[in-house]
Structures are given as C-alpha cells and as structure tokens.
Amino acid sequence: MTPTHTIKLTIEYDGTHFQGWQLQIPPNRTIQDEIEKALNEITKENVRVIGSGRTDSGVHAFGQVAHFKTKSTLPTSTFLKALNYHLPKDISVLRVQQVKNTFHAQFSAKRKTYRYTILNRVAPSAQAWNFVYQFPCPLNVAAMKREAQALVGRKDFKSFQAANTNGKKEMSTVRTVRKLSIQKKGDLISLEIEANGFLYKMVRNIVGTLLDIGTGKLPPGSLKKILAQKNRAAASKTAPAHGLCLVKVQY
C-alpha cells in the first residue's frame, strides 16, 4: 500500500475578492477551494485542505497555515512551483514542508497573531484601500493603548464574540491574549494581537470598541466593564474586514 504523506503549506493571500477561507455550498470563490482545485490538478487525487482557522470574506493573510494528505511522492520544491503555477495571483504559497502525519493545521496550533491596520486621516489611500480601514476622526492613541491592556491575559471574551452564522457553538469563550500592541507611524495605526485562539470576529469587535475609546465615545475603564458583562451588545460595532490580516500561526 502506498504510504500517505502530510504536507504543510504556509500561504499568503489578498482576501479582497474571496468569500473567506472555507469551502462553501453553493460554491463561492474561497481560498480553500482554489488551493484544492490546484492540488487536485497536480496530484490527480481528491485532496482536502485543512486550514489553521477560517478567515472571513475580505480578510487577508501573510502566514495562513494549512495541511493536506497525499500519496504523491512529488518533492516539496515541486509542489511549491506547481501550486504557484496553478493558483491565481492573489494567492501565493510561500513554503511547502513534509511533516509528521500527526500534524494538524488547526488542532496543533499554539498561538496566532493578527494585525489590524487603520488609516487615520481624512483622505483615503489610492494604493492601500483594500488593506487598511480609513478612519477620518482624530484618535487618542495613548488612551487606546492604556485601555487595551485590560484584554491581556486569560479572559472571557464573550462580549467580543459575534454570532456564528455557520451554527458552530464554542465550548468556551475563554481565551488567553499573550500580547497586544498598538503602534502609530504617520497616518497608520496598527493593532497586533497574539492569542492562543480567537472567537468569531473577536479581533474586529475589539478594534471597533477601541476606536470608540480613541474618539472619546467610551470613557476610561470601559473595556473592563465590557468584558465583565459577557454580552456582545455591551461592545461596539464590528470593524470592517479589509483592515485585518492573519500574520502568523505558531506550533
């Protein structure tokens, strides 16, 4: 019997013209679907690709991780070239590695890092509009930084969890945020958050709430109170998808 190999992919993509990561019925253009079609063409097998997690419609990635199982004996260097040949220009496979058969892109993940980028000026960007959220109102970045520290540590993030239209119910809404930084450089404000896992739209809901803190709509101490309420209605509106990027997944 031909042995099965487990192949790990590190993937970069511009999510602008995709309906997220996950394969959908009826079919829409998704990252998973494009990669599976390319792999089926290369291996002549019915390959299923498993991602580290779902990214929503319009969300980007610098370092999404996925795996698939195959009986193909093609070298990883050949897989890399063949995948990038067959994939559209808005998806790029950066790395192909053969890993242990026990590896699972989702369940083996220890930490993930997301970055949300805000363009804080009145004029939009002609070049980066797909990748930044233009927010024209002045922001008190120092206040945002102070408040954001309330999110670091092991917390119940139920207040920042959006209703999941896929019907998946989380067993627990407790997550551990290991790092959270907010940096301003010129007109760009970037929020980077590393955690052991994320709830549905958690980062975008946090960003929306921090923007209300930055404008003074919410007073100091609001984040602690919102966390304590464990109620999505207590937090602010969801920030748009196109400012969000999955930076890396650690194993």
List active site positions. 56
Residues 172-204 as b or e (16 or more Cβ within 10 Å = b): eeebebeebebeeeeeebbbbbbbebbbbbbbb
CA distance 15 to 246: 11
Q: At what angle do helices 141-148 and 202-214 cross, to 10 degrees?
A: 130
CA distance 217 to 90: 38
Which residues touch 77 (CB under 8 Å, ≥6 apart)? 96
Chain center to CA of 248: 9
Which residues touch 16 (CB under 8 Å, ≥6 apart)? 58, 60, 90, 130, 242
For residue 24, give both structure tokens.
């959908």
Which residues touch 103 (CB under 8 Å, ≥6 apart)? 6, 8, 67, 251
Residue listed under structure tokens 């220009």:
89
CA distance 96 to 35: 13
